[in-house]
């Protein structure tokens, strides 16, 4: 969209930082989903014994 602004080094660094934040955020999201499913499985298996 704004090709002329990409030549600005600060803009390029900001875009790189945003891309890294998105990648780390995706990892955190996947880990969170796995933890939630693990807790749900534990609760589901423990429920009959409570």
pLDDT tens track for 3-19: 555 568 888 899 999 99
Domain count, the chain: 1
CB proximity list for 5: less than 8 A, separation 6 or greater = 11
Distances (CA, A) of 36 to 7, 21, 30, 32, 47: 42, 22, 10, 6, 16
Portion of the chain with pLDDT greater than 70, in percent:
84
Largest CA-CA distance found in the chain, in angstroms, rounded: 64
pLDDT in tens, 16-49: 999 999 999 999 999 999 999 999 999 999 888 7
> Token digits for 23?
């990648």
Tell me the whole-structure pTM to 2 decimals: 0.54
Domain range enclosing 31: 3-49
């Amino acid at each position: 969209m704004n090709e002329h602004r990409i030549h600005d080094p600060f803009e390029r660094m900001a875009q790189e930082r945003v891309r890294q934040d998105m990648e780390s955020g995706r990892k955190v999201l996947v880990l969170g989903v796995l933890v939630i499913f693990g807790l749900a499985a534990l609760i589901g298996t423990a429920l009959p014994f409570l």
